[in-house]
Amino acid sequence: MASFLRTPLFSVDLSISSRIDDSLRMSASSSLRVRRPGTADLKVSGSVKRNTCLIVQASKEPLELTRELREKQKTTFEEKNDELDPFEELKPRFLNFKKRVYLENLDHYQNLAEGQAPKFMVIACADSRVCPSKHFGVSSRRSIYCPNVANLVPPFQHGASEVNAGLEFAVNSLQVANILVVGHSRCGGIRALMSMKRDDDTRSFIRDWVSIGKTARLSTEAAAGNLSFEKQCKHCEKESVNTSLLNLLTYPWIEERVNEGTLSLHGGYYDFTDCSFEKWTLVYRQCLEGGSKYSIKNRSFWS
């Protein structure tokens, strides 16, 4: 066996091939015997070179079989590609954007490629019916968006998330002057928050996330607990915006900039059932002694 391992696998003596027929007619005592995999080593009796040739010849067959299987898989894959491609409808839309928007505003997009200096950070819901850039007609150069389920802002102590990472980038790196948190009508995330039971599946990512708004739920139950579930949800959709605004002040670098007057916090509510918008600004007085440090100003309704 040791001599077999020292023999290179593919160093075949051409003279061996002329003796293959003789080797196949050898007695049982000099035949090649292979046991089941894992039970024993390969046993070889007789000439090592003779059996090496057999190994080389046998190795060609699996290679051809593998190549054949790959060709069949390739054919099957190409046949499946004949199915409807969901990106086909996106392609003409992208090309239309390039022709009618990008190329007609080439200077703007070339400047945008050099850097960004947005004045607004908008935290909105991931709901497909909510698109702040379209609703407000704000260009991508003037705002940065951070969508998430139910447009929630976790408190600073909550731990890392895409929201506080976005806040750090927008406030400390881009130095935005305004943060707008936008709620909206018929929000599925808020409905999930208002529908939660104590025995619900604690492994749900949605449950864990919307639990950030539990303060808004408690406020809603206290103020509108006698109303229908639908009206409670609508109340909570607005109340959760205020909860997020207060949570923003738990971030030291946000509180500092608000006190300095270089950053303003705003709330908004978009009702897509009648295309109306309500907005307000949070006032924070850190040094105020007695009374509430928080108030609302500049509330307005657009319809």
Binding residues for Zn(2+): 125, 127, 184, 187
DSSP-assigned beta bridge partners for residue 294:
284
CB environment 264-292: b (16+ within 10 A), e (fewer): bbbbbbbbeeeeebbbbbbbbeeeeeeee
Q: How far apart are CA 226 and CA 223, in angstroms?
A: 8
- Name every residue whose Cβ is closer than 8 Å to that of residue 5 and which is 6 or more positions away in sequence: none
CA distance 269 to 184: 5
Q: Which residues are annotated as a binding site?
A: 125, 127, 184, 187
